[in-house]
Amino acid sequence: MLRIPRMNRRVRLVAACAATTAVLGPLIWLWQASLLPDAYSVTDMGYADYGGGPVAGSMTHVGHGAHRMAGHGVGSLTADPRRPADVAVTLTARRQRFPLPSGRVVDGYTLNGQSPGPVIRATAGQLVQVRLVNESVSEGVTLHWHGVDVPNAADGVAGVTQDAVGIGREFTYRFVADQAGTFWYHSHQVSHKQVSGGLLGALVVTPPARPAGVVDVVALVHLYRGARTVNGREGDIRVEAPPGGRARVRVIDTENGPMSVWVAGAPFRLVAVDGTDLNGPSPVQNTAVLVTAGGRADVEVTMPADGSPVRVHLGGSAAVVLGSRSYDVPAVPRPKATLDLLSYGTTAPLGFDPQRPDRRFRYDIGRRPGFLDGRPGIWWTVNGHLFPHVPMFIVAEGDVVRMRIANHSGAVHPMHLHGHHAVVLSRNGMPATGSPWWVDSLNVGNGESYEIAFVADNPGIWMDHCHDLPHATQGLVTHLMYEGITTPFAVGGTADNEPE
Ligand code: C2O
Ligand code: CU
C-alpha cells in the first residue's frame, strides 16, 4: 500500500486550497460586482461619457445628491398641460388568450380586447392624449411611442420616465404629434415578453394637406408564436386600389429582426423611412427593402392601368395584395438586390452642420464572457464594458452630436435611440450621397460601422438600446442624458420596473 507522508499531504492540501482560491476568488468577486441592487436609478449606472464636450460645473454625474436636487425632474418635461387634446383615446390592457383569425391561439396581451391594439390616427400638429388602463397585467404595463420624439415624461419607459402601471391603475400620455409619418407604440415594461405577446399597435400621423386619391394602408407586421401576421392575421390581406391610382403601404416591423419587403406586379418607390419622408425617391424594381426591427418603411405603388394586382411581400410569408378586379398575383422570391439607402434619392439640406459637432460618442458593440446580474454567460458589451458598467452619454441642450456605432459582436443589432431622429452620415466609411436618411432604428450588421448625427433638442433621459428585445435583456442598453435632468424613478423597486 502506498502511503503519502503526512507532511506531504498537508502541503498538497494547502496548495490545492490556494489554487482554488486563486481561481475562484476573482470569479466570486466578478460575480458579486455584477449583482444589480433591488432598486437603482439609471443615472447612477456606469460611467459618464461627455463625448469630448464640456463637463459643465453643475454636471456631476453618478449618484451625487446635490446634482439631483439641482436638476429638472423628467416629470416636468411634458406637453403644454393647458392645451386640450385633439385626439383622445383610452387603451385598456389585459392579459389574455386570444385566437388569430386562423384559429391559432395566442397567450398574450390585448389593448381594448384586440392585438394589435387599435390604430391611432392623428393629423400633424395635433395633441394626442392616450389614457392607459391596466385591467389584468400583473407585471404592470407602460406605452412607449416608438419613433415619436415625445416630451420625456411621455416616453413610457418603466423605471426611467414613469413607474409601471399596476392592475387597477392608469397613466395618461400627452404629446404633440408634430411629424407626419408612420410610428408605433408598445409596452416598455418587461418589453421582451409584452411586445412579442402583442401589447402594441400602430400610430399614423398624416400631413394636414393629405394627398388626395392615395389609398393609405397600415401593415403592422408581427410574429405571434412564430407565425408572421399583418395587422393580426396570417397570410395575405387584400386592399382595394383602383387602376392607375396610388397606394401607400406603411410597413411596421415589430419583430426582433430585420424584415425584407419586395413588390411584384409594379415598380415602387420607398417614400419614407422611420416616419420621415425621403427626398426624391425614384421608382425601383426587382429590389428588396430591408426594414430594421422596430423600423418603418412606407412603400408607394402606382397601380397598373390595366387593373392587374400588386403583391407587396412582407418577409415572404405575409403580404398586402392591392387590387380591384382581381387579387390573383403569385408570390415571387426575394430579389437579390437590396435597396441601399446610402445612395437612394437626392440630397437635401439637413438643417444643421454635422461637421462641427459639440460631442462625439462611440457605441462599440462587442461580446465577451462574464456575469450579468450574477448570471454567467457570453454577454454584449458597449465600449468593452458589460451592463450596467456601460457609458452614460451626456449632452447639453442644443449640442450637435455625432455617434459612431460599430458592431463586432457576431450578430445584427437594430439600434434604437429614444426621443430623437438621427441622420446617417456614412457606413463603413462610405459617405451618404442620397436623400437625407433619418432613422430612429438602425440595422447594424456584424462587421458594420455607421456614423450618425443628431441635434440634442429634446431634454430628458433617453434609452439607446438594441431593439432585438432579448438582446436588451442581455445588457445591450445605454442611455442618453441631458445635463441637469433627473429622474425620481428607479429600475426594480416597489413598482417592479423592468424596462427590458
Ligand atoms: Cu421600441 Cu426602447 O423601444
Ligand atoms: Cu441586438
Nearest atom in ligand 1 to the alpha carbon of residue 441 is 1
Q: Which atom of ligand 1 is nearest to the CA of 463?
A: 2
Q: Is 359 in the pocket of ligand 1 (CB under 6 A)?
A: no
Q: How confident is the model at residue 12 (pLDDT cuts 50, 70, 90)?
A: confident
More confident residue, 62 or 347: 347
Q: Which residues pair with 145 in a beta bridge?
A: 185
Q: Please work out whether the CB of residue 471 comes within 6 Å of at least one atom of ligand 1.
A: no
294 lines ligand 1 (CB under 6 A): yes
Which pTM does this prediction carry? 0.93
More confident residue, 77 or 30: 77
Q: What is the pLDDT of residues 403-437, one digit of tens each?
A: 999 999 999 999 999 999 999 999 999 999 999 99
- Residue nearest to ligand 1 atom 3, measured at CA: 146
| Distance (Å, whole) CA 433 – CA 456 | 24
Exposure pattern of 329-347 as b/e (b: 16+ CB <10 Å)?
beeeeebeeebebbebbee
How would residue 2 be classed by pLDDT, with cut points 50, 70 and 90? low
pLDDT tens column, 118-154: 999 999 999 999 999 999 999 999 999 999 999 999 9
Measured from the Cα of 465, ligand 1's closest atom is: 2
465 Cβ below 6 A of ligand 1? yes
- The CB of 188 under 6 Å from ligand 1? The reply is yes
Of all ligands present, the nearest one to the C-alpha of 414 is 2
222-254 confidence digits (pLDDT tens): 999 999 999 999 999 999 999 999 999 999 999
Please give the Cα distance from 154 to 163 (Å, whole number): 12
Write down the mean pLDDT value for the chain: 94
The three three-digit cell numbers of residue 9, written as one number: 499531504
- Contact predicate 263/315, CB 8 Å: no
Residue given cell 407626419 in the structure block: 180
147 in Cβ contact with 141 (< 8 Å): no
Is the CB of 418 within 6 Å of ligand 1?
Answer: yes
Dump pLDDT digits (tens) for 248-303: 999 999 999 999 999 999 999 999 999 999 999 999 999 999 999 999 999 999 99
Mean pLDDT on 64-92? 81
The DSSP secondary structure of 292-358, one letter per residue, reads: PTT-EEEEEEEPPTT---EEEEEBTTEEEEEESS-------PPPSEE--TTTSS-----SS-TTS-S
- For residues 393-405, give the mean pLDDT: 97
